[in-house]
């Protein structure tokens, strides 16, 4: 018999569809979101409904819904699911000249609908691009705009002078208007004398600049297997070569007490936080609500705390031994193989440096059970990527 359930690989390292036969039917829901940024002309055409190809958002909505129903044909080893509800909604973001798409999928089944939601939102955004590319071929999916952090203020005098002069309009320094050593110092890139986002449009973005892109790029997989004298070995690595991530304001597992004062006390923050004895620390002087407050210095994206979320995961590794048939046939057994297999045992990622408690595949909004919203809160508040080890026995008579 064998016990290799809940894995996309069998004991020999071959790809298989996960066996969910014995799982209980439960209500499942997933929401994914994405953003496409475009020039002023293209955004105005979408906003006014004057794109020559027709109703951009209406067509994109239908495309996204249709795509969710074909997910199992697009994504290898994805289960076909009877979807009970699919919605694709859009939000115009004139300050960014962008369109945000949200796809929510529901089902009553034995496995989740995260892939369906991701497929729907991706297809919707690609449809927007296709319908608007005659106006703007430079549209980008997932770009992150943010401020440039020069560093941390070295003295209270420097902080008060620059903070009140240049940063007070945009940022809130804490529970009062006092700027102190250890607070974040932002760059006035447009030399206007004030750190701000201008009119918050592409043609007037003030001190904002493109600092990254949240879309996973350069997906890859590496598979190796070998057999020798009855011994078999297989290993599979999977990863993403490039991805940027700026934690949402309510991502308490990342921000710790910079989110809410009564939040998590994270050891790696405590060990590398600014103090007079540690002026070159990574984390600023401790003040509560800097991430959760709308004008907190950590709420708006910046290049100091933008995280590199690329990774390489040891997805599966297995080692087995098949006994010689001259031995097994004496017991009327045609083939007997013993094996040990591990899944999701570990991963490498620069994310571990400042977000040791995050998995790079779990940095979006968490499970619906935690009432989390993509891009707003709850990042990492989901069920973890399960690490498992299986010891099994295959017997063929």
CA distance 173 to 221: 45
The 10 Å CB-count burial string (b at 16+, else e) for 304-314 is bbbbbbbbbbb
Do strands 140-141 and 184-186 pair parallel, antiparallel, or not at all (unpaired)? unpaired
Closest CA to 292 of 330, 331, 247, 350: 247
- The whole-angstrom distance between residue 15's C-alpha and the CA centroid of its chain comes to 25
Residues 361 and 383 sit within 8 Å (Cβ to Cβ):
no
Cα three-residue angle 282-287-293, rounded to 5 degrees: 105
267 C-beta neighbours (distance < 10 Å), count: 10
What region does 332 belong to: left with phi over 0, alpha with psi -120 to 50, or beta? left
DSSP state of 282: S
Q: Which of 10, 55, 130, 156 is catalytic?
A: 130
- 130 catalytic per annotation: yes
CA distance 136 to 385: 39
Residues 137 and 128 sit within 8 Å (Cβ to Cβ):
no
Q: Which two tokens stand for residue 168?
A: 């007070």
- Alpha-helix runs per DSSP H in the chain: 40-48, 56-68, 71-74, 114-132, 156-162, 252-255, 267-270, 325-328
Closest CA to 180 of 277, 287, 269, 87: 287
CA distance 375 to 250: 9
Map tokens 């690595």 to a residue: 237
DSSP H or E stretch at residue 55: none
Residues contacting 323, CB < 8 A, separation 6+? 230, 336, 337
CA distance 236 to 63: 34
Residues involved in catalysis: 130
């Amino acid at each position: 018999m064998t016990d290799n359930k809940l894995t996309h690989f069998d004991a020999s390292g071959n790809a298989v569809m996960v066996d969910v036969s014995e799982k209980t039917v439960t209500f499942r829901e997933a929401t994914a979101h994405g953003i496409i940024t475009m020039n002023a002309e293209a955004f105005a055409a979408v906003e006014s409904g004057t794109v020559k190809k027709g109703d951009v958002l209406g067509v994109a909505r239908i495309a996204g819904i249709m795509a969710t129903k074909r997910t199992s044909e697009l994504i290898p080893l994805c289960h076909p699911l009877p979807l009970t509800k699919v919605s694709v909604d859009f939000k115009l973001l004139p300050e960014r000249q962008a369109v945000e798409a949200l796809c929510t999928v529901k089902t009553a089944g034995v496995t989740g609908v995260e892939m369906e939601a991701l497929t729907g939102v991706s297809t919707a955004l690609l449809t927007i691009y296709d319908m608007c590319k005659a106006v703007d071929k430079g549209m980008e999916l997932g770009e992150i705009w943010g401020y440039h952090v020069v560093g941390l203020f070295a003295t209270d005098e420097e902080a008060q002078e620059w903070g009140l002069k240049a940063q007070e309009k945009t940022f809130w320094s804490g529970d009062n208007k006092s700027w102190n050593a250890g607070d974040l110092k932002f760059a006035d890139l447009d030399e206007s004398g004030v750190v701000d986002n201008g009119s918050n449009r592409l043609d007037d973005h003030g001190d904002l600049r493109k600092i990254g892109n949240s879309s996973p790029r350069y997906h890859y997989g590496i598979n190796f297997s070998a057999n020798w004298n009855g011994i078999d070995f297989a290993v599979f690595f999977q990863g993403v070569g490039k991805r940027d991530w700026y934690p949402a304001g309510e991502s308490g597992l990342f921000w710790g007490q910079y989110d809410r004062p009564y939040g998590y006390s994270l050891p790696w923050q405590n060990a590398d936080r600014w103090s007079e004895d540690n002026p070159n620390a990574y984390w600023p002087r401790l003040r509560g609500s800097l991430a959760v407050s709308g004008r907190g210095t950590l709420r708006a994206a910046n290049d100091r705390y933008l995280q590199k979320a690329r990774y390489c995961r040891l997805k599966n590794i297995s080692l087995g031994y098949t006994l010689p048939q001259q031995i097994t046939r004496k017991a009327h057994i045609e083939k007997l193989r013993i094996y040990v297999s591990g899944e999701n045992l570990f991963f490498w990622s620069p994310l571990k440096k400042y977000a040791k408690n995050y998995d790079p595949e779990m940095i979006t909004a968490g499970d619906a059970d935690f009432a989390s919203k993509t891009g707003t809160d709850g990042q990492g508040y989901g069920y973890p990527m399960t690490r498992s080890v299986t010891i099994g026995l295959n017997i063929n008579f």
